[in-house]
Amino acid sequence: MEKEIVLSGIRPTGFLHLGNYFGAMRNYVRMQDEYNCYFFVANWHSLTTHPDTKTLQESVLRVVAENIACGLDPEKVSLYVQSDVPEIAELYLYLNMLAYKGELEKTTSFKDKVRMQPENVNAGLLTYPVLQAADILIHRAVKVPVGKDQEQNLEMARNFAERFNHRYGETFPLPYAFNYNSELVKIMGLDGNGKMSKSENQMTTLFLADEDEMIRKKVMKAKTDQGPLTPNSVKPDYIQNLFTLMGLVSTADTVKKFEDDFSNSTEGNCIIRYGDMKKQLAEDMVNFINPIRSKAADLQNNKELLFKIIHQGADKARASASATLTIVRNAVGMNY
């Protein structure tokens, strides 16, 4: 049986962090054996916010290096950069004829951007979901591993696909968001405020590029309190988050020891020592992040290899993309 097609896009903004790893990349790595996977860096999408193009190029290469360091195997998946696959732009053009101004203006991400950058409400921003649909449909992907915030874009991709099929004949299967549900771990910032994120306070986010000392410093500064003063207390969010992190990077025995210390605390006798817990977590975190950071750094220092990898990814992606485009051109009567 043919493997199902999985596709996801990664925006090349900022550095990847632990939340990205456990929320997305770890799942991609798991999917690469089971599915026919396409993963790409969405550099056209990032032009909608007019970034500095020099740092954009650096970010694209870093994201590729970090994804490989996390375990994506360019021999197993197609790992490419969006702008290396011009077929996507042509499909975007056809899909634009099926996307209506009213529905595009109503999307949440567009409205957010209008609020955030009222001086730059460009047409690329408005048609962001159309380009995203082209990314997906160009490989006729059916499973799209993305977070909750992308549901609306996926629904629009299905609408455009359906409209295309209806007007020009059955061409695209409908794509759906997809995850190994039980494993979507939510990681909060180390201050317990909201999700770990690239843009908020950098001291409360653990980046895959952080040096060992920086990791220790951040973990040791993580928010705690005086500790539980009754047996089996309910953990506040920020404490639960430390346990969640420990569950991801420490051994089961270590987690159990601190869980027991937490539960066994009694009135006036707090057994758990958060200082010790954070020290242990810091070391386990260093051991987790360090090999990823070094592998990513080695790759970034080997531009020749990185370029070879993305060119090979682009070749694979273009083979699939041009096959779809042939069908699409036939369907819309552009086959001269």
Task: Give me the active site residues, please.
Answer: 113, 195, 198
Is residue 26 classed exposed, middle or buried when 0-12, 13-18 and 19+ CB atoms within 10 A define those classes? middle
Nearer to ligand TRP among residue 135 and residue 210 (C-beta): 135
DSSP characters over 238-301: HHHHHHHHHHHHS-HHHHHHHHHHHHT-BTTB----HHHHHHHHHHHHHHHHHHHHHHHHHHHT
Asked whether position 45 contacts ligand TRP by CB under 6 A, the answer is yes
Q: Which of 4, 11, 200, 264 binds ligand TRP (CB under 6 A)?
A: 11
Q: How does strand 78-81 pair with strand 36-41?
A: parallel
Using CB under 6 A, which of the segments 49-57, 131-139, 237-245, 251-259 binds ligand TRP? 131-139
Can you list the pairs that 302-307 forms with residues at least 24 positions away whose Cβ atoms lie under 8 Å? Answer: 303/61, 306/61, 306/64, 306/65
Binding mask 147-166 for ligand TRP (x = CB under 6 A): ---x--x-------------
Least separation in angstroms between residue 305's CB and ligand TRP is 25
Q: Which residue is nearest to ligand TRP (CB)?
A: 9
Asked whether position 136 contacts ligand TRP by CB under 6 A, the answer is yes
H-run or E-run covering 3: none
Using CB under 6 A, which of the segments 94-102, 143-151, 178-186, 235-243 binds ligand TRP? 143-151
Q: Are 289 and 215 in contact (CB under 8 A)?
A: yes
Least separation in angstroms between residue 223's CB and ligand TRP is 28
Least separation in angstroms between residue 50's CB and ligand TRP is 17
Asked whether position 104 contacts ligand TRP by CB under 6 A, the answer is no
Q: Tokens standing for 255?
A: 């987690």
Binders in 180-199 for ligand TRP, by CB under 6 A: none
Q: Tokens standing for 14?
A: 């900022």
Q: Which of 12, 64, 77, 135 binds ligand TRP (CB under 6 A)?
A: 135
Q: Are 152 and 72 in contact (CB under 8 A)?
A: no
**Distances in Å between the alpha carbon of 8 and those of 30, 36, 90, 123, 205?**
14, 12, 19, 23, 23
Nearer to ligand TRP among residue 132 and residue 241 (C-beta): 132
Using CB under 6 A, which of the segments 6-14, 198-206, 242-250, 323-331 binds ligand TRP? 6-14
Q: Are 133 and 156 in contact (CB under 8 A)?
A: yes
Asked whether position 146 contacts ligand TRP by CB under 6 A, the answer is yes
Which residues here bind ligand TRP, judged by CB under 6 A? 7-9, 11, 42, 45, 132, 135-136, 144, 146, 150, 153
